[in-house]
Chain A
């Protein structure tokens, strides 16, 4: 699978077949997953309920995809886990501890990369600074295949490279939960496949829990261990994806069948 796809990259080899050999050991930026538990979570904006009595348990290290139409509560769910918003009722817990305010061990990738334009790439990756940040940021940049771009200004980067920098920025703090809010939505098809492979590889190396918000059913089936369909604030489908990894992006009969089931529930 990689022979054809190597041409898509910008000369940086990070294809799934051989990454463990060239990259620093995961211990360089230690990580690991945390469980996420939602019990009877409700969220309303004014009179309008967005999430209705939601119960969801996500085991540590799982790659969960949340699929649904716009306005189905996907982003609200993610903001609750990140601690950006508080639930109207119920409890959200990460690693067994109730979420109150912003979480140090939860990192978020936005739809737009949200790089700081007046910080160079390395400064963006190490945006929270802290001791030894240059070293950690350099390792994270190498992890996403942009080792030599640290001195660039963000505006010279392509859309895919910007998202890779954003991913490196999330990795620096060695999060135990990574939330992805449709970060690949604005990318072209080939770049998106690259980003899928990169995200999957990094997830396997670091072992954090991933919640991917997407409206792309194929993307969810290609990446996730488990797909949850959110419809009008309720879980309409909870499906395990038992396909072997690495997966193909298209042309797999079993994957197509799963996609059809998910689409029917959306």
Chain B
């Protein structure tokens, strides 16, 4: 190990040190450290279950965790959970693809071409400041309660964070690098693909993470107002029958989907930003 560590290139050093430090601690302490972040949620869960079982907490206010688990099992068995999650995820992803694509394209266009910025940016800034959920009545009038309404709202919601961060990322690319690229004879296309886009990528990915949060939020609201399927519909339907356990289940499903989306973006960041000291494997703790 020590011989290997000496021969290894410098970039592997931080990883090795971290691993060695972890390995050096007694196993019990390591187990405890891994458990510590879960202590609070687990404690709350135990208290919650106890309060519900002892009758302090009415199931009309909040169902017991065991009741939620049961609801989960039943929804899984009759297939409604899977169907609704898939329906919601599909809406979310289509909306993200459309809105994110438009935001990205506009961000690139306005970032690299000033006339476009002059013509479009102030309009976009005005639109950005309209809360997109405020146009739900209009959207329902336009699209009814069909798929288009939900997808449209998600697309509007995600377009702006992606636009803003793409534009900002392109504008803040190191001017020195751009000048260097010109002196070293890079063509306009090479300048874009090799310097400008990679330089803007960290900012674009921040925009993507932000957009994912808005994506779920918009979908929840849209589905609770007008839908015949999806997680939001599932929870609103359950409310009619006072099934608080299903409502809580829906909330948990949203939380897990949001977390999953965030983890995916973080994985993309680690893959594409390997050159960035903040995203090194050895310093992942700092980045996270």
Contacts and interface: CB of A to CB of B under 8 A. Distances in A.
B82 to A, nearest CB: 40
A84 B183 contact: yes
B186 A127 contact: yes
B184 A128 contact: yes
Contacts, number: 59
Contacts of B255: none
Contacts of B177: 114, 116
A128 B191 CA distance: 10
A151 B12 CA distance: 13
B263 to A, nearest CB: 23
A116 B194 contact: yes
Contact of A118 (B11, B185, B275): B275
A119 B194 contact: yes
A155 interface: yes
Contact of B9 (A104, A107, A118, A152): A152
Contacts of A129: 190
Interface in B196-254: 198-199, 201
A117 B276 contact: yes
- Size band of the interface chain A makes with B: 20 to 34
Contacts of B181: 127
Interface residues of B, number: 25
Contacts of A120: 275
A155 B180 contact: no
Nearest to B276: A117
Contacts of A114: 174, 176-177, 179-180
Interface in B247-288: 273-277
Interface in B146-203: 174, 176-177, 179-186, 190, 194-195, 198-199, 201
Interface string A60-84: 0000000000000000000000101
A169 B198 contact: no
B10 interface: yes
Main secondary structure of the interface of B (DSSP, over half): helix
B195 A116 contact: yes
A127 B184 contact: yes
A116 to B, nearest CB: 6
Contacts of A154: 275
Contact of B11 (A82, A108, A117, A153): A153
B183 A108 contact: yes
B11 to A, nearest CB: 5
Q: Describe A's contact surface by its main secondary structure.
A: loop
A148 to B, nearest CB: 9
A173 B183 CA distance: 12
A107 B198 contact: no
Q: Which of A104, A118, A153 has the most CB of B within 10 A?
A: A118
Nearest to B187: A128
Interface string A87-124: 00000000000000010100110101010111110000
A118 B275 CA distance: 5
A107 B275 contact: no
A116 B173 CA distance: 11
B109 to A, nearest CB: 22
A110 B190 contact: no
A4 interface: no
Contacts of B11: 152-153, 156
Given A116-B195, A156-B11, A173 B180 contact: no
Interface of B: 9-11, 174, 176-177, 179-186, 190, 194-195, 198-199, 201, 273-277
The 6 A-B pairs with the shortest beta carbon distances in the complex, nearest first, are: A118-B275, A114-B180, A118-B198, A128-B185, A153-B275, A108-B183
Given A119-B275, A173-B184, 12 more contacts: A102-B183, A104-B185, A107-B183, A114-B174, A114-B177, A114-B179, A114-B180, A118-B199, A118-B201, A156-B10, A156-B11, A169-B184
26 contacts: A102-B183, A108-B180, A114-B176, A114-B177, A117-B276, A118-B198, A118-B201, A118-B273, A118-B276, A119-B275, A127-B184, A127-B186, A127-B194, A128-B184, A128-B185, A128-B190, A129-B190, A152-B9, A152-B10, A152-B11, A153-B275, A154-B275, A155-B277, A156-B11, A173-B184, A173-B185
